[in-house]
Amino acid sequence: MNQSALTPSFLPLYAQIKQLITRSLDAGEWQPGAAIPSEMALAQRYRVSQGTVRKAIDTLVLDNMLVRHQGKGTFVSTHADEGTDYRFLRLRNLADEPEYPHSTFVGFGRGKADAHLAARLSIRSGSALVLMQRLLAFSGAPVVYDDIRLRAKLLKGISSALVEDHVNAHKGTLYSLYETRYQIRIVAAHERIRAALADAHSAPLLGVAVGAPLLCIERVAFTYQQQPVEWRMSVINTAQHYYFDELN
């Protein structure tokens, strides 16, 4: 496999293959929801063993970039798949019962990145941003208030009507909108979690008193090659919900 110009030679071979497959995903060679070539075909393509390809695919499955369907093959993960559209939403109710949120957008506009957002989104200060604010309600009660900032140059033509039409018509997430409308797939997110108190803005939106305890999550969402796309600050009323994660 002559890939020395593309991949660091000190990486394990399966990790090099993982990088090459990721580059193909990033380039759009295989679209979300589409099947990728078989392990045998990829082994021939990269001139490595089928076991090396399998290990590379295993890591991409763990990273949620690919998904295996028994008896059918391996497919590019998509936020449009039923059951995976809320994969990045880590809230569960105290009864651990299945529950899906209803989105209500309470603000939409344009702005510019300050120094903090510029650093988090890897852009220059003053770069154009799309601003969105929304509430997520569970069982009819508001639980999450999201303040969302997006890199405007990646989402040309986005509007409040487009966003609401997509979410309402398809019962989808913002991430499925980015994917289907702009071919931007969110594959990873970094979160910073801390305790917070409800302020005069968030308290009435979430139906709590000013000073009530909330969970605050600052998230940066990435597409392929660790390119940041979205920053959001979520404040959450955890009276009936908790944040869940699995550590492996």
Given pLDDT bands bounded at 50, 70 and 90, which one contains residue 230? very high
Instruction: Look at 180 and 202; give whichever has higher pLDDT.
Output: 202
What is 91-243's CATH number?
Answer: 3.40.1410.10
What whole-number percentage of the chain has pLDDT above 70?
91
Given pLDDT bands bounded at 50, 70 and 90, which one contains residue 229? very high
Residue 224: per-residue pLDDT:
86
Return d(Cα 151, Cα 182) in angstroms, integer. 12
- Using the predicted structure, report yes or no on whether residue 6 has a pLDDT greater than 60: no
Average pLDDT, the chain: 88
Instruction: Give residue-wise pLDDT tens across range 28-52.
Output: 888 888 899 999 999 999 999 999 9
Residue 172: per-residue pLDDT:
64
DSSP readout, 228-245?
A: EEEEEEEEE--SSEEE--
Return d(Cα 163, Cα 139) in angstroms, integer. 22
Residue 151: per-residue pLDDT:
94
Residue 3: per-residue pLDDT:
47
Return d(Cα 18, Cα 22) in angstroms, integer. 6
Given pLDDT bands bounded at 50, 70 and 90, which one contains residue 216? very high
Q: Mean pLDDT, to the nearest integer, of 205-228?
A: 94
28-34 CB contacts, 8 Å cutoff, 24+ apart: 28/183, 30/76, 31/76, 32/76, 32/77, 32/78, 32/79, 32/80, 32/179, 32/185, 33/75, 33/76, 33/78, 33/80, 33/81, 34/75, 34/76
Return d(Cα 152, Cα 145) in angstroms, integer. 21
DSSP readout, 134-168?
A: EEEEETTEEEEEEEEEEEGGGSTT--HHHHHHHHH
In 186-217, which positions are buried (b, 16+ CB within 10 angstroms) versus exposed (e)?
Answer: bbebeeeeeeeebeeebbebbebeeebebbeb
Q: Mean pLDDT, to the nearest integer, of 58-77?
A: 86
Q: Mean pLDDT, to the nearest integer, of 50-76?
A: 88
Instruction: Give residue-wise pLDDT tens across range 97-149.
Output: 888 888 899 999 999 999 999 999 999 999 999 999 999 999 999 999 999 99
Q: Mean pLDDT, to the nearest integer, of 64-90?
A: 76
Tell me, yes or no, if the two domains 13-76 and 91-243 fold the same way. no
Given pLDDT bands bounded at 50, 70 and 90, which one contains residue 69? confident
CB 85 within 8 A of CB 79: yes
Query: What class does CATH assign to 13-76?
Result: mainly alpha
Segments making up each domain of the chain, as ranges: 13-76, 91-243
Residue 27: per-residue pLDDT:
82
